[in-house]
Amino acid sequence: MQNALRIDGIIGNTLDTMRVRVIFEAVSVFIDTQLALQKPNLFLWLPIIFACGIGTYFALPFDPPLILAVFCLALAIALYSVAETFKPVVLVFLIYVAGFCGAAYRTHSVATPIITDKMAATEITGYVRQIEKLDEGRGSRIVLDVIDIEDLATNEIPEKVRLTIRKDSEVRVGQLVRMLAGLNPPSEPLIPGGFDFRRYLYFQKIGAIGFVYNAPEVLSDEPAGFSTSWNSFIETLRQRIEKRIYDVLPPNKAAIAAALLVGKKNAISDEDQQAMRDAGLAHMLAISGLHVGIFAGTLFFVLRFIMACIPLLALRYPIKKIAAVMAVAGATFYMFLAGTTVPTQRSVLMISIVFLAIILDRSPISLRLVAASALVVLALRPESLLSVSFQMSFAAVTCMIYFYSVTRQMWINLYTQASLSKRFAVYFLGICMTTIIASIATAPFALYHFGQVSFIGSAANLVAVPLFGFFVMPIALISLLLMPLGLDKWSLVMMGYGIEGMLDISYWAAALPYSIVRNAMWPFSAFILINISALFMMLWKGLGKVVALPVLITGLALTQSAVMPDILVSESHKLFLFRSQDQKGETTLLTSSRRNDRFVLKNWEKLYGLPEKSAQLLDYKGTGKKSAHSFYQCGEQGCRLTLKGQKVSFVRSAYILKEECAWADLVISEEPLPYSLQCRSYHTIDKFDTWEKGTHAVWLLPQIKIKTIADSQRNRPWAKLNDRSAKD
């Protein structure tokens, strides 16, 4: 009996082992099969892995030594050369480290001094590199290649500065000028983790911003060096085109025409920009893939048509390829006219790859071309990964190409079997689908970066994009071609009519109820999960796509878990914001001022998902009266607030400091706190704190937590803040 049981046990164990082995082998076969399916798309993952390395570099709170990044890259190359079993894993690591190393090298290669203190009035000498007209009555903005700044040592002088001239003057690009100006350090993020304007200017080698006191003194009209001469030629040409536009069109239309032709959009009025933004048409104002594609495509088809009408050319030469080469040259010229911004360079690169595919008789529409373009852009300009335009344009293009590659046969059948009227209907349907897909693809980026998305944007684009693509931009191209002949007036007038139509559509769509959907700032984790799941769904082949669904659901769920700061204190220490939520979850914002830091307040309101001017002013005259808000009470010398069970004192006068320190869990003072002051809680924020560490964000639950700009970025080369301890 015991032997029989022992035999049964042995057989049972053997069967269990065999089952485990069979399951393991089945899983291994399934994994191998799924991995084998991914071979055609392996190249598409290269820019994604490369971008992860770049993102890791920029996410660090400190600046790693360049030699360390180079060592890691050398180590990864060595591991890949000797690896055998885990070679694919090592390759992923190598690409990741290459992205990290590329970002580190780019950061060190563009290094320029950045001023850390305001300079009230200083004499600056330099070459005018760029001039851009601002909104009517606001003057112009210039960029100087700096030679000398008074009271600054040579190693402290920024390579470039950006200045505002209150009144338009006769300054031209390429001139050597001297002027008296006030300089400020580039602005820090408006909230910890927000958009960093200092980093944006750092990669343009701009180390200071400011304004000019007097009319610039011209020292020389001769540009120095070939690069400056070329820049002078291009900028002078842009300036002349802009002047010609303003001579023909009224200011509001001329501002948009100048944005489309020469990339100068600062003269567009705030009302027009807001209307286009609310209507979901703001992408038309920034020179990007849409503009370059229409410009180069129009040039390609026009040139090919002209050459096709000449039998001698059409029969002897490959006119299609010649037109493609000339279209690339035209797109490159347009890039220089538009100011060679990163989005424009990226668009020209993608267009060039498309036309290269035409020259090589390859399909011009492919995810591989998109991946190659992204990889080249990230290798040359790693900082573009953080650009909203980079993210939104590649998201839109990737989603559109994926959609049409999946539904390609359906569109071919619809088009080939249709009459002329039905083909027009198919074309219109294609525009509708393209607009809807682009809107869906860019919506997460708009919600994450701007806190809003245009609900009516798809409908507005259905009307505005054909008007823009088939009328405004082709007429713009004709205007550029006719300008040297002096025959451009009629075409500019026609372009003005098209711009007027775009503005009418914008104001109509923006005025519709519920045209804008607003939300509070998303957590970064939600943003990442949504994008990873979308990429996985498009690029992964086989049943593995199912894995992306729970990741997407998790990301969408996290969008509602954003924990916004309860209190914000601006860098200037002139603006204070307090947030309260009622039982229904509705947010109320209270602000210390509407006059100070108005730009900051407007953007803070957006971060909380609220419209402009929604923050209420604290009632400083409410002493002795029943406040409309039971959670706070104010007087001339300060306010007491009870937020989430925490006692917060906002002190405006030193006379009540001792009393408030004995009462509050958190003391926020407009003036510096004496070192001898003994407070009930060690949580205090005064003027010295914001001067040293920048903007403060405060969370009150589960306990008081204060986060500053300096906490996350003190040691980055673009984030040099005042160091009080060093000066003391």
Strand, helix or coil for residue 189: coil
Instruction: Name residue, tokens 């002493």.
Output: 623
Instruction: Say what the pLDDT of residue 722 is.
Output: 44
Q: Which range among 11-20, 486-495, 569-578, 699-708 shows the weakest confidence by mean pLDDT?
A: 11-20
| pLDDT score of 458 more than 70 | no
pLDDT value at position 567? 93
Measured in degrees and rounded to the nearest 5, phi and psi for residue 280 equal 75, 20
Q: 624-682 pLDDT, tens per residue?
A: 344 455 678 888 888 999 888 889 999 998 888 888 898 999 999 998 888 878 788 88
Beta strands in 536-613 (DSSP E): 567-569, 576-581, 587-591
Predicted confidence (pLDDT) per residue in 412-443, tens digit? 777 777 677 777 777 777 777 877 788 888 88
Structure confidence at residue 302 (pLDDT): 85
On the question of pLDDT at 444 being above 70, the answer is yes
Q: Which residue has the higher pLDDT, 308 or 519?
A: 308
* Mean pLDDT of all residues in 138-156: 85
Looking at residue 55, what is its pLDDT?
A: 93
Amino acid at 653: S
Q: What is the pLDDT of residue 49?
A: 93
Most confident of 52-56, 283-287, 363-367, 386-390: 52-56
Phi, psi angle pair for 18, to nearest 5°: -65, -40
Round to whole Å and give the CA distance between 639 and 629.
Answer: 12
Q: How many residues does the chain have?
A: 728
Q: Which of 113-127, 201-215, 291-305, 681-695 has the lowest mean pLDDT?
A: 291-305
Residue 316 is classified by DSSP as H
Question: What's the rounded mean pLDDT across residues 132-141?
Answer: 74
By three-state DSSP, how is residue 579 classified?
strand
- Would you say 506 and 276 are in contact if contact means Cβ atoms under 8 Å apart? yes
**Helix ranges, 38-121 (H):** 42-59, 66-82, 87-109
* Per-residue model confidence (pLDDT) at position 276: 83
Q: How confident is the model at residue 130 (pLDDT cuts 50, 70, 90)?
A: confident
Checking if the pLDDT of 362 tops 50, the result is: yes
Q: What share of the chain is helix, strand, coil (3-state, %, to 5)?
A: 55, 15, 30
pLDDT of residue 17: 66
Q: Which long-range contacts (CB under 8 A, 24 or more apart) does 687-690 make?
A: 687/573, 688/724, 690/569, 690/570, 690/571, 690/572, 690/573
pLDDT of residue 622: 62
In three-state secondary structure terms, 719 is coil
| Neighbour-count burial of 202, counting CB atoms closer than 10 A to its CB (0-12 exposed, 13-18 middle, 19+ buried) | buried
Cα–Cα distance measured from residue 333 to residue 354, given in angstroms and rounded to the nearest whole number: 17
Residue 728: band (very low, low, confident or very high) from pLDDT cuts 50, 70, 90: very low
Higher pLDDT, 161 or 701: 161
Q: What is the pLDDT of residue 626?
A: 43
Tokens 């059948």: give the residue.
Answer: 413
Closest of 424, 429, 504, 434 to residue 464, by C-alpha: 504
Separation between Cα atoms, residue 461 and residue 622, nearest integer Å: 49
Please report the beta strands in 150-230, taking only residues with DSSP state E, as ranges in sequence order: 160-165, 176-184, 206-212, 217-220
For 311-326, how does the pLDDT look when each residue is reduced to its tens digit (9 = 90+)? 888 788 888 888 888 9
Q: Which amino acid is at 231?
A: N
